[in-house]
């Protein structure tokens, strides 16, 4: 299954800085399966354990947030990191145009997409996360949502009301990731991936493999990390199809006969000057320039 087309190849340069903002993902949500891979309302109550720590997720009245809902968080994190890297003061409140969000995340800009955006806000705000973290003989319990609140400003156009501007307040949990720079740059082609599992696999590869020569994980453990509730046999089949299609940005995957999944970068590490590493802001600027000229940043590095 091919990537989605780039729906906005010229972007919209009348929207301030849209061509300069580099997509960023927070590492905490890349590590844990906080988002549903389902395409229909997912009303499951989820619980994950890791050692003495526990994460419980209680869905909103319209279901768990989906991996596509996460585009909103990625967009907000990217905007704030862009401002932070320019030395601007940032806060939990983020205001943006709905159109800018649609263009950046490679969505259509029709009326149906604006309705889906409103539903995504409901899921992100209404779903409750509970973390229990044990340190020594003490246990701390926290309850939070990924978005504390959100609002939409609508305007009437050709006799129909349309979402114009949005304003959200990010949770402390998300802000801590931004303030501590616990984010990584992701490929713009992430937004062109059609299948929820493809997106989740890319996140896991980006988080754990990075630019290492390879990273490997057992199939059952990988399924747990993705949050997929399919039978293992079905998960294996889906993974093989994704590997065969080979659309995952920057990474290739291999499934061995003994159910070991291996992630490898598509391009070898540039070893000409391994001791030289660009600062984050310089890499972001280089990516933005390459993207504006229709070039692939990683190809230019090779």
The neighbouring-strand residues paired with 18 are: none
Q: Which of 298, 131, 93, 125 is nearest to 210 (CA)?
A: 298
Work out the percent of the chain whose per-residue pLDDT is above 70: 79
Question: At residue 137, does pLDDT exceed 90?
Answer: no
> Reading across the β-sheet that carries 128-135, which strands appear in turn?
46-50, 53-58, 128-135, 138-144
Q: Is the pLDDT of residue 194 over 90?
A: yes
Scanning the structure block, which residue is given the tokens 């969000």? Answer: 101
Output the six-digit token pair for 16. 């301030």
Rounded to two decimals, what is the model's pTM? Answer: 0.83
Mean pLDDT, the chain, integer: 85
* 220-256 per-position pLDDT tens digit: 999 999 999 999 999 999 999 999 999 999 999 999 9
Domain 194-266 has CATH 1.20.120: no
Q: Tell me which of 25-34, 166-175, 267-276 is least confident.
A: 267-276
pLDDT at 130 over 90: yes
Q: What is the dihedral of CA 247, 218, 44, 76, to 10 degrees?
A: -50
Whether residue 293 has pLDDT greater than 60: no
More confident residue, 34 or 110: 34
Q: Tell me: pLDDT of 52 over 90.
A: no
Residue 275 has pLDDT above 50, yes or no: no
pLDDT at 274: 40
Predicted local distance difference test score (pLDDT) of residue 30 = 93
Q: Go through 201-213 and write b for each residue having 16 or more CB atoms within 10 A of its CB, e for each that does not.
A: bbbbbbbebeeee
b/e per residue, 140-167, with b = 16+ CB within 10 A?
eeeeebbbbebebeeeeeeeeebbeebe
Tens-digit pLDDT profile for residues 235-245: 999 999 999 99
Instruction: Please determine, for residue 292, whether its predicted confidence score (pLDDT) is greater than 80.
Output: no
DSSP-derived pairing of the beta strands 260-265 and 138-144: unpaired
Tens-place pLDDT, residues 78-112: 999 999 999 999 999 999 988 889 899 988 877 78
Query: Average pLDDT for residues 112-123, to the nearest whole number?
Result: 88
User: Does 46 score more than 70 pLDDT?
Assistant: yes
* Residues in Cβ contact with 158 at an 8 Å cutoff, skipping those fewer than 6 apart: none
Domain ranges of the chain: 1-192, 194-266, 274-302
> What was the pLDDT predicted at 156?
57
For the cut 60, the answer to whether the pLDDT of residue 219 exceeds it is yes
CA distances from 292 to 17, 25, 28 (A): 12, 21, 30
Angle at 53 between CA 47 and CA 56, to 5 degrees: 25
């Amino acid at each position: 299954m091919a990537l989605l087309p780039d729906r906005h190849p010229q972007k919209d340069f009348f929207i301030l800085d849209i061509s300069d903002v580099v997509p960023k993902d927070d590492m905490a949500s890349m590590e844990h399966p906080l988002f549903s891979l389902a395409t229909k309302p997912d009303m499951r109550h989820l619980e994950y354990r890791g050692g003495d720590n526990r994460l419980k997720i209680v869905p909103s009245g319209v279901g768990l947030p989906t991996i596509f809902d996460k585009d909103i968080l990625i967009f907000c994190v990217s905007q704030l990191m862009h401002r932070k890297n320019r030395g601007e003061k940032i806060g939990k409140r983020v205001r943006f145009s709905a159109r800018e969000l649609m263009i950046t995340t490679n969505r259509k800009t029709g009326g149906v997409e604006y309705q889906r955006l409103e539903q995504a806000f409901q899921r992100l705000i209404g779903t409750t996360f509970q973390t229990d973290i044990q340190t020594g003989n003490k246990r701390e319990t926290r309850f939070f949502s990924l978005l504390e609140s959100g609002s939409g400003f609508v305007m009437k156009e050709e006799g129909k009301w349309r979402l114009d501007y949005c304003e959200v307040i990010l949770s402390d949990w998300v802000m801590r990731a931004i303030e501590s720079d616990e984010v990584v740059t992701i490929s713009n082609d992430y937004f062109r991936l059609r299948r929820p599992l493809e997106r989740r696999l890319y996140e896991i590869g980006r988080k754990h493999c990075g630019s290492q020569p390879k990273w490997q994980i057992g199939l059952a453990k990988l399924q747990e990390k993705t949050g997929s509730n399919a039978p293992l046999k079905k998960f294996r089949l889906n993974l093989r199809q994704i590997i065969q299609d080979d659309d995952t940005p920057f990474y290739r995957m291999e499934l061995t006969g003994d159910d070991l999944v291996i992630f490898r970068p598509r391009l070898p590490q540039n070893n000409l000057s391994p001791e030289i590493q660009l600062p984050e802001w310089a890499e972001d600027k280089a990516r933005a320039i390459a993207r504006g000229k229709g070039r692939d940043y990683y190809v230019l590095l090779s």
